[in-house]
Amino acid sequence: MQESNRIEFKRELSYSLEKDVVAFLNYRDGGAIYIGIDDNSKDVVGIKNIDQVQLKIKDRIKNNILPSTLGLFDVIHENKDLKDIIKITIASGTDKPYYLKKYGMSEKGCYLRIGSASEFMPSKMIEEVFARRTRNSIGKIKSLKSELTFEQLKIYYNETGFNLTDKFASNLELLTETGEYNYGAYLMADVNNVSVKVAKYNGINRVNLIENNEYGFCSIVKATKQVLSKLDVENHTLTKITSREREEKKLIEPIALREAVINAIVHNDFTNEIPPKFELFSDRLEITSSGGIPQGLNEDEFFNGYSAPRNKELMRIFKDLELVEYLGSGIPRILSKYNKAIFKITDNFIRIVFTFEIADSVKEKVGEKDGEGVGERVGEKVGEKVGEKLTTNQLLIIALIKENPYTSAKKIAENINISVRKTEDNIAKLKRKGLLKRIGSPKGGHWEIVENE
């Protein structure tokens, strides 16, 4: 690891810390500062009194830099070569230019990362950057209601061991420059008009809506927890019995699902009044958030975990409540389980499509190349050529029975998100087609797929 435009080494905590943090805040990619690594030899020297040093770093960054850095940095204890070091992760800020509080917005106070050094920002650049500063943000937009309560938010903070004081709105940046509640406060309030929907369809398109759950009109934190709970219930466990063991696997990898849900909410562009939406189909979950890739990032940087929080006020609170682990962790965590193909990115939206594991199993069994034709002929893979197409649900039933011949209609219904009655109707149709038969009694027997001779 070498020093670069995104990495800075420091042997110990020094007077230049704020200067380098400001430079990374003003840099389009942000960066990381490692304390405990010699910047000349690159040797790991470590630091003592790790907890005390971490507190000093947080205090200096919060109090010595403007505009507010809340939600834009993490201070993490790491161990390298059996020695304690500190990694400070800094996101690219949205309120550029950032500057040292004691010098103000001047050449002496503003810095920018150039190569592996933090350089003064010229006056002309300061003026240009300030002119481009985004005014349309949830921190600057006035709340739609002037009288707000925050009992839900206080409860969540109490659960994590924090008590919100009377100045919490100011401390959490929930006020405009004129001291009124901003749109971030509106999202965090006990009552608002923001609804986050989880829709559920019977089939692979949006024709047959069977559930339309609204989690909202309350603190966005509460709505997030409700969405996570609902999708956790829908994320069924699939069981595969092999000759050696019983294998269990979720429709969607749980860690990736959680990160995708929180990312969609925290980074959604609420300024256009379009909330994120979650749509369940028989073969997939689609998560759509408004806003596209945050300003200042390209697609490669987005996938590599560079962080430029669109809503730093939300990010700060979600991090306080331990819903977010650290800056830039969400996308890499998702990509550790899935490839980039699950992301569909446009200028105005980001959609993540989680194809259920069972749907992949069906595609393999019926010889499909992709998700577009899951309802093609069963053919020789699953039984006799019956001269007609089977439905997606019938193919899913066949795939589940192949994985576990002893499964029940109730269990099948849970896995493919349809009623037990519809499952039994489809099983009856498969039996009439000669593709499925029951061996033994209704309770003690098992299913058998009729294969070709």
Which pLDDT does position 374 carry in this prediction? 38
Which pLDDT does position 216 carry in this prediction? 81
Which pLDDT does position 57 carry in this prediction? 96
Nearest in space to 316 (alpha carbons), one of 214, 147, 164, 193: 164
- 200 contacts 209 by C-beta, under 8 angstroms: yes
- 141 contacts 185 by C-beta, under 8 angstroms: no
Query: Distance (Å, rounded) from C-alpha 14 to C-alpha 161?
Result: 31
Which pLDDT does position 344 carry in this prediction? 94
97 cis-preceded (ω within 30 degrees of 0): yes
Which pLDDT does position 239 carry in this prediction? 59
Note the Cα 384 to chain centre separation in Å: 44
Note the Cα 353 to chain centre separation in Å: 13
Please report, for the chain, how many H helices and E strands are present, in that order: 15, 18
Domains and CATH numbers, the chain: 7-132 (3.30.950.30), 195-202+234-355 (3.30.565.60), 376-449 (1.10.10.10)
Note the Cα 296 to chain centre separation in Å: 19
Query: Distance (Å, rounded) from C-alpha 67 to C-alpha 308?
Result: 15
The H or E element that residue 113 is part of is: strand 111-114
- 43 contacts 283 by C-beta, under 8 angstroms: no
Which pLDDT does position 376 carry in this prediction? 39
Sequence letter at residue 161: G
Sequence letter at residue 78: E
Which pLDDT does position 329 carry in this prediction? 77
Sequence letter at residue 157: Y
- Collapsed DSSP state (helix, strand, coil) of residue 87: strand
Q: What is the pLDDT along the chain (453 residues), one digit of tens a residue?
A: 788 989 999 999 999 999 999 999 999 889 999 999 998 889 999 999 999 999 999 999 999 999 889 889 999 999 999 999 999 999 998 888 999 999 998 999 999 999 989 999 998 898 888 766 655 688 888 898 999 999 999 999 999 998 899 999 999 999 988 899 999 999 999 999 999 999 999 888 888 899 999 998 899 999 999 999 999 999 987 655 555 565 677 889 999 999 999 999 999 999 878 899 999 998 899 999 998 887 667 888 888 877 777 888 999 999 999 998 766 678 989 999 999 999 999 988 999 999 986 644 444 544 444 333 433 333 334 444 444 467 778 888 888 887 778 888 888 887 776 888 889 999 998 888 888 888 888 777 888 888 644
Which pLDDT does position 441 carry in this prediction? 81
3-state SS record for 314-379: HHHHHHHCCCCCCCCCHHHHHHCCCCHHHEEECCCEEEEEEECHHHHHHHHHHCCCCHHHCCCCCH
Which pLDDT does position 372 carry in this prediction? 39
CA dist 176 → 186, 271, 308 (Å): 12, 15, 21
Which pLDDT does position 132 carry in this prediction? 67
Which pLDDT does position 406 carry in this prediction? 81
Nearest in space to 153 (alpha carbons), one of 199, 184, 198: 184
67 cis-preceded (ω within 30 degrees of 0): yes
